[in-house]
Structure 1
Amino acid sequence: MRTKDLAQAALLVAIAMILRSLTPPIFLGMKPDLTLTMMFIILIVKRDFKLGFLVALATAIFTALTTTFPGGQIANIVDKLLTFLIVYNLIPLFSKFLQKRVLAGVTTIVGTIISGSIFLTIASMLVGLPAPFTALFIGVVLPAAVVNTIAAAVLFTVVDFAIDVEYNQVESEVL
């Protein structure tokens, strides 16, 4: 893992946290988690397990600190780390069949559904849910997956272009 990759990932996580703070709630005070979107984009672009783990850990801590869900701190930490492990292993499978931009969308929708399911399961075991699991899944997780996927399509294009431009600049300077 290079320092440049770490700095880029930190910047992207910071941008995701700003977007998270600006996102309005959907249902019962819960809102889409755009930090997940950025985590998936970083995993696709960088393909580095250690960097991905650090991004997942940072995302877990930040979302735990800013959650509006009662008792959602532990659920956020467990959710982000488990989601990272699952999605990191799915990306190579998906990438065999999909172009990068489509990969970002598919990874985000699948990853958000996985994340939401894990979060609701952990939260229900620890503190209970303010509504039935199915209602929260349909009312929060599925809309969040759609919002995150749309955001991923836009953000992936920008992030991939910016990193590719920087990479090509460095390549030409070395030559």
Structure 2
Amino acid sequence: MKIKNMILTSVLLAMGFVLHAIVPGFFGMKFDLLLTFMFIAIMINPSIKNTLLAGLLSGILTAMTTTFPGGQLPNMIDKVVTAFIVLALVKVLMNVKSDSVKSGIIGFVGTVSSGMIFLTSALLIVGLPAPLGILVTSIVVPTAIANTVITVIVYKTAVMALGTRKPVLD
């Protein structure tokens, strides 16, 4: 893995971490902007090494800032597993011409996957403060919709900033 790719992933995750920490939640829902930037890092550099790096770093960073009681381990599990789901999505959607469609699908499916993995692991490890179905419909789905829009916008911006439409491959 090239140093410039690791630096790009680290910068994207740092931006996501800062935004994740300072953006307030709305109506009991907090957008996981670090998750969005993890998606972008994987879409730009879809390698196994980068996916592992992005997943581990995202897991550590969200574990440090979680407001969910006992959510540290579920965050670590969630981000690593979600990173590899996103990598699989990137590979499956590689031939999709529209960046907006591709990034939108990845944003939505990735966020729903992340939410479900987090809630399931939290349920098994520490328990949930409300029934799973209520948490999915009131937090996961609205967050997925918001993250989809944010992912499309941020991906387009990142592609313009990098001056490339093609993923950076090792």
| TM-score when normalising by structure 2 | 0.91
State how far apart, in whole Å, the 2-side matches of 1:27 and 1:118 are: 22
Larger radius of gyration: 1
- Is the CA contact 1:32–1:148 (under 8 Å) kept in the aligned structure 2? yes
State how far apart, in whole Å, the 2-side matches of 1:108 and 1:82 are: 15
State how far apart, in whole Å, the 1-side matches of 2:73 and 2:51 are: 20
Larger helix share, 1 or 2: 1
Matches within 5 A, 1:1-175: 1-26=1-26, 28=28, 30-164=29-163
Q: CA RMSD in A?
A: 1.6
- Is the CA contact 2:55–2:81 (under 8 Å) kept in the aligned structure 1? no
Write the letter of the residue equivalent to 1:79. Answer: D
Offset, 1:43? 1.1
State how far apart, in whole Å, the 1-side matches of 2:154 and 2:99 are: 12
Write the letter of the residue equivalent to 1:45. Answer: I
Write the letter of the residue equivalent to 1:71. Answer: G
- Is the CA contact 2:55–2:80 (under 8 Å) kept in the aligned structure 1? yes
- Is the CA contact 2:42–2:51 (under 8 Å) kept in the aligned structure 1? yes
**Higher alpha-carbon deviation: 122-131 or 87-96:** 87-96
Offset, 1:145? 0.6
- Is the CA contact 2:79–2:114 (under 8 Å) kept in the aligned structure 1? yes
Aligned length: 165
Q: State the identity as a percent.
A: 38
Write the letter of the residue equivalent to 1:142. Answer: V
Offset, 1:77? 0.3
**Higher alpha-carbon deviation: 153-162 or 68-77:** 153-162
State how far apart, in whole Å, the 2-side matches of 1:133 and 1:102 are: 29
State how far apart, in whole Å, the 1-side matches of 2:37 and 2:121 are: 22
Offset, 1:27? 5.0
Structure 2 unaligned blocks of 5 or more? none
Structure 1 unaligned blocks of 5 or more? 168-175
State how far apart, in whole Å, the 1-side matches of 2:97 and 2:72 are: 34
Q: Deviations over 1:4-23 (max 9, x none)?
A: 11111111111001110122
State how far apart, in whole Å, the 1-side matches of 2:161 and 2:49 are: 22
Q: Deviations over 1:107-136 (max 9, x none)?
A: 010000000000000001111111111111
State how far apart, in whole Å, the 2-side matches of 1:22 and 1:146 are: 20
- Is the CA contact 2:51–2:84 (under 8 Å) kept in the aligned structure 1? no
Write the letter of the residue equivalent to 1:7. Answer: I
**Higher alpha-carbon deviation: 92-101 or 77-86:** 92-101
Write the letter of the residue equivalent to 2:10. Answer: A
